[in-house]
Amino acid sequence: MSYFDTNYEVSASYLSIEKGNKQFIGSKENRTCRYCGKTKPDVTFRLEAHAIPEFTGNKSLIAYDECDVCNEKFSRLVEDHFGKYLGVLRTLSQVHGKKGVPTYKGKDGKSRIEMEAAGLHVKGYEEDPIFEINEESKRVTVTAHRQPYVPAAVFKCLVKMAIAIAPSSVLGDLQHLCKWILEDSHTYESFPYKPLMVFEQFTPGPMPYKGITLLLLRRKQSVKDVPYLQFIVAFGNTMYQIVLPMPQQDKEILKKQIQLFLFPVPFSEGYEYGKTAVYQLDLSRYEIVRNEPHVMHMSYESAEKKETLNN
């Protein structure tokens, strides 16, 4: 934590956003879209725009400064890919989206994991196995498959969230990223920047993050050798951390290797459900990834066997 205290200041923060009283970004009277820069009558603002995707559990943080055209584009071009990347994690973490906790369906549509009144219900078939039970270790392994997604679009979605909460003092530096995330196609040529790295920290247990936490950190003026902007979002069981691609502000550090530090999760080493797992993801791919396996593990205290009699 001392690394972040020494090198960064908090530009924007929203802590533990939960369903309830709504918070608004931007002005309802003088609406200008922060992404395309357009105002009425060139664009409309009829839709209720969620500052970050609703499938993260966001019901309360609303953007007055996102026009209907950009809202539709983001939903189709970047948010859809991030939702598909999360896949079964949204179900197992019990994160409520627009229509509640989503149901995960196996490749053939028969096997499924869904939220019912009594809890999670996992149904598998021999021809479409999605889970294995190890009675000795009291462990269930779920093997799901993500729907087709573009990795770079997942990264763009995280960038979009960062832009959504950026204050006016930072927003002027982000116009190249606004243009990039609004591109109709995902190509390296649209913004030749690599790598698109993400730190993903998964903490086991029943939804450790209550609500959604968002942080945008900006490098202090007296500091030169760390990335200019870092963004953190945490919801469900997972925290995501990215360095925003800022070629102008980071032109000096791009010439050399630097060490990045994980933002600390608020769970100690002795956390009762186990240690936080860390994954370093390179999302610098612009082609569609298909049928990617997504393996999750769950532990249980006891199991009860029931026999079914067939007439």
H or E element at residue 114: strand 112-116
| pLDDT tier, 125 (very low <50, low <70, confident <90, very high otherwise) | confident
Contact 249, 56 (CB under 8 A): no
Contacts of 281 (CB under 8 A, 6+ apart): 151, 197, 198, 199, 200
pLDDT tens for 268-296 read 778 888 899 999 999 999 999 999 999 88
User: What is the SS3 assignment for 32?
Assistant: strand
Other beta carbons less than 10 A from residue 259's beta carbon? 7
pLDDT tens for 11-32 read 999 998 887 789 999 999 989 9
- Give residue for tokens 């997504």: 294
Of 270, 261, 262, 202, nearest in space to 236 by CA: 202
